[in-house]
């Protein structure tokens, strides 16, 4: 009897964890259709009788992404918006191309854990913990290496090799979302009040003006 409260606690924790991720599907599939007039948590299903094998195929990773930008990297998404067959399945992917020196700048993925495999090249990767530890975990990855970025933590990948690099990531949500930290802080239109930023970053207002005036490249 004295173990009962502990098992209840474990059950409660397990339930809380289950609700923190995409909900489990209640049917074989629910190929997404867009209805721009109605907003729900997720997307409506295409009539299952009209679903074909093509709904479960995504060809967007066949060709390299265009890395001719300031960051010298390109993220090609296979999220539910690009790949409607993923709807309700709690999973998605990204292809990330890196030119020499290319950086995928710190995003925080609000609803995903990401697991990344390097297909070509050498990447320096890392993530930043919350104030539980105030730490960063970084590693140099070679072709074939796999690294996991725990859910929601800010992370980055930088090509430190002498060749272009290519990586694929699997993500634990069909609609993970992305908040690219520098862009989210400095590129917003209308901008965040300068007083907020100069106090938060402890810099002169001129520095904030300078940063807000920059062009913030989006590699997504």
Ligand X SMILES: *[C@@H]1O[C@H](CO)[C@@H](O)[C@H](O)[C@H]1NC(C)=O
Residue with smaller CB distance to ligand X, 16 or 133: 133
Nearest distance from C-beta of residue 133 to ligand X, angstroms: 5
Are 33 and 46 contacting, i.e. CB atoms less than 8 angstroms apart?
yes
Rounded to 10 deg, the angle between the 205-213 and 194-201 helix axes is 110
From the list 134, 144, 189, 215, which residue makes contact with ligand X (rule: CB under 6 A)? 134
Residue with smaller CB distance to ligand X, 68 or 133: 133
DSSP code for 161: S
From the list 39, 131, 202, 213, which residue makes contact with ligand X (rule: CB under 6 A)? 131
Nearest distance from C-beta of residue 127 to ligand X, angstroms: 16
Are 167 and 96 contacting, i.e. CB atoms less than 8 angstroms apart?
yes
Residue with smaller CB distance to ligand X, 41 or 131: 131
Task: Assess 202 for contact with ligand X (CB under 6 A).
Answer: no
Nearest distance from C-beta of residue 136 to ligand X, angstroms: 13
Tell the burial category of 77 from Cβ atoms under 10 Å away from its Cβ (0-12, 13-18, 19+): buried
User: Which residues 6+ apart lie within 8 Å of 155 measured at CB?
Assistant: 106, 107, 108, 114, 125, 126, 127, 128, 149
Distances (CA, A) of 29 to 41, 42, 50, 176, 200: 16, 13, 12, 19, 45
Quick one: which segment of 7-15, 21-29, 102-110, 126-134 binds ligand X (CB under 6 A)?
Answer: 126-134
From the list 4, 133, 190, 213, which residue makes contact with ligand X (rule: CB under 6 A)? 133
Tokens of 119: 């297909």
Quick one: which segment of 128-136, 139-147, 151-159, 211-219 binds ligand X (CB under 6 A)?
Answer: 128-136
Sites of contact with ligand X (CB under 6 A): 131, 133-134
């Amino acid at each position: 009897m004295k173990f009962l409260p502990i098992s209840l606690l474990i059950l409660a924790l397990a339930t809380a964890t289950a609700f923190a991720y995409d909900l489990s599907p209640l049917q074989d599939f629910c190929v997404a259709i867009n209805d721009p007039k109605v907003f729900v948590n997720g997307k409506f299903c295409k009539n299952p009788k009209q679903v074909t094998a093509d709904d479960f195929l995504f060809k967007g990773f066949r060709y390299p992404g265009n890395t001719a930008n300031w960051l010298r990297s390109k993220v090609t998404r296979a999220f539910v918006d690009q790949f409607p067959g993923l709807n309700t399945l709690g999973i998605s992917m990204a292809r990330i191309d890196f030119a020499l020196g290319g950086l995928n700048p710190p995003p925080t993925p609000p609803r995903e854990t990401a697991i990344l495999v390097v297909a070509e090249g050498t990447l320096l990767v890392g993530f930043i913990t919350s104030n539980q530890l105030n730490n960063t975990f970084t590693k140099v990855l070679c072709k074939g290496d796999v690294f996991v970025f725990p859910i929601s933590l800010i992370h980055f990948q930088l090509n430190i090799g002498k060749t272009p690099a290519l990586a694929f990531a699997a993500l634990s949500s069909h609609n993970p979302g992305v908040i690219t930290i520098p862009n989210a802080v400095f590129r917003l239109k209308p901008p965040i009040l300068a007083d907020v930023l100069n106090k938060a970053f402890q810099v002169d207002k001129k520095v904030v003006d300078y940063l807000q005036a920059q062009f913030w490249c989006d590699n997504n």
